[in-house]
Structure 1
Amino acid sequence: MDEMELQTAVSEIRNLAESDQMVPEVLAEQCLFIELVLLEKGLSLEAFADFYAMHMLSYLLCDNLCEAKMLWMRMPERLRQRPLLSGVHKVLQALWRSERQNAFETLERIANAPPQDNVDAPIRKLSKLVADKQRQKAFELLSRAFSSISQEELAKLTGLPRDVAVESARGLGWTEEANGYLRPVLPAPVPPSVGVLEQLNSLTQDVAFLEQVDLQAMVKKEEESRVGGATGKGAGGGEERAHKPRTGVQGDAGGKGGGAGPMAGSAGGAHGKGPLDAVAFSVAATTRLLARLIPTLQVAVSSIDRIRAFADAVTTAFVSGFGAAWEEVIANPGVLRCAGLCEKQGRKKASHKGERHS
């Protein structure tokens, strides 16, 4: 992929960012792929400053502040000094410190920048989407944190004019009290997402399928090479073929440092093809390791559930037994007095036995 093809790919990402069917996670993944290609080719990044701004805004739209921070750290210093990227970084800093008011102000400046600033339409739209998502998150947090809130405080925390903030709150079902305060309504509970074990299992199945396809292709290639070698031997009058390193299970022969075993051969092939293949190999190896840990994690989770159920049963039995005994003591105080006398008598017998032994 040359520089012209990269420019075409970046244009497609711009079109995706402006589309109404845009999915933030898909946009972030495509931006990451383009970034890896840029780093692999070693091209000048001066012409891709707007792309990096879209890349960081895609992470902010996914509410993935850690990835956005790491992207900023691996940017060249020349790009960090660009006004647009510096503004997006201020948004990241404000969100990292939970200073949403400053984030809303910076996003508003980026979205409504004057024409002389040359801010692309996709960046303006992404800035508005990030602001809308953060406002939605602010309304959800306020509905859980406040039983009632003033209109001025609501406008300050959501970065909206007072009338717009009140109208938005009414649209969410908030009610206005006689003193002008707004009473929030708790948002609907979010359905539980897919568990970590289910995600790992699905990822493992996908990677296993891809590895099976690659293995079949390598076996087919090895069979073709054997057939070709046999044909060449017959045509050459029985000349012996030179020994060549086997491909297939041992890994790609074109890789550097391919050792014995599937993982060593694959690692050599990955290093021979470039950083993207090395990243793909690392992901596959990590997935295989996680796949081996899935049964252990499942056993651990089931054991924890059994221990928790046992502890609940013991606690319930103890509480119920203690409650029944306490009710018997209250109903018959003589039981407690009799128990005290028995305990005193037992101590006396123990002391007599000690004197007798001495």
Structure 2
Amino acid sequence: MSLSLEQLCRCSVAVDLGAARTRVYLKEVGLIVNQPTVAAVNTRTGSLIAVGSLAERMTGRTPGHIRVVRPVSGGTVVDIDIAQRMLRFFVGNKVRRAWRRKPLLRAAVCVSHDADPLARRAAAETLAGLGARRVELVDTLIAAAVGCGLPVERPEATMIVVCGATTTHIAVLSMGAIVAAEKIPVGGDIIDRAVLEHLRTRHELLLPGQSGHPLHEVLRGADPSVGGAEVHGRDVTTGLSKSVHVDAADVRAIVRSPLTGVLDAMRAVLRRCPPDLVADLADRGVVLAGGSARLAGLDELLAQGTGMHTHVADRPDLCAVEGLGALLEGKVQPLPLGPLRH
């Protein structure tokens, strides 16, 4: 592979800093953190009040001096200080004390394939705040592909679509490297805004961000007998409490428009690939990963638009961190491409 497997095997911890959730993998232990990437800060004192699930529940429900922030946006750390403090709280004092006793602690973190030097430095400094002496940067697409069980180290084409909260990454991989890739600003948050705007214009219902989860359950087919969901919010006109029944078919029609951007990006990536690799993809298909990959109808839409078999990974939201963990544990072996000998 193009990245150094030898260096990664020396790492003790792997971190996937996503815009929606933060996941931490500890070598020989497994996944120890899977929490929302959210922190609540007291603007008067600068102290951290809550992180993770508790801070997420505070969204839209706090007084003026408490601000709920997301230190990661689009796969890039935008607030290093808050991200460091959030990670310290996640991993706990015992784990951090154990790490301090290791003078050569190494860590690995996912970064976007097109991350600029500032974004890469921000990710490295965030892990350095945990006590890491050396930080290895791993492409999110490669880590997710390894987590999906794709043979990325072989001279065969594999295509992966990572659907995140704010962005979607599409790539064709071969020999442990990216052949062609594309990133578009379409993700779960875009879908949420489209649904919320539909409720406001169609049903005159105003919802906070936390109330969109019942709609996601409908889109995933959680209760097909109902065919929709009962949503509670505030009436736009009167300001009083209001409940409406939202039809699942209407919601699918609304989210179909932003999802066409993913299809256009996939076509652009395929046009930049050699014909031999595209032929491999015709047999192997496309794998969907990321927290928004389970959106109902997404795999069918991409399959119809590309003519290739499309399926969702078993645990799409954990593919990146599990791939990083597999690299740390040495479960991925490079091809023996040494010099030829007579």
Please state which structure has a larger fraction of its residues in strand: 2
Please state which structure has a larger fraction of its residues in helix: 1
TM range (shorter): under 0.3
TM-score of the pair, normalised by structure 1? 0.24
Q: Greater CA radius of gyration, 1 or 2?
A: 1
- If asked which structure has higher relative contact order (CA below 8 Å, sep 6+), I would say 2
TM-score of the pair, normalised by structure 2? 0.25
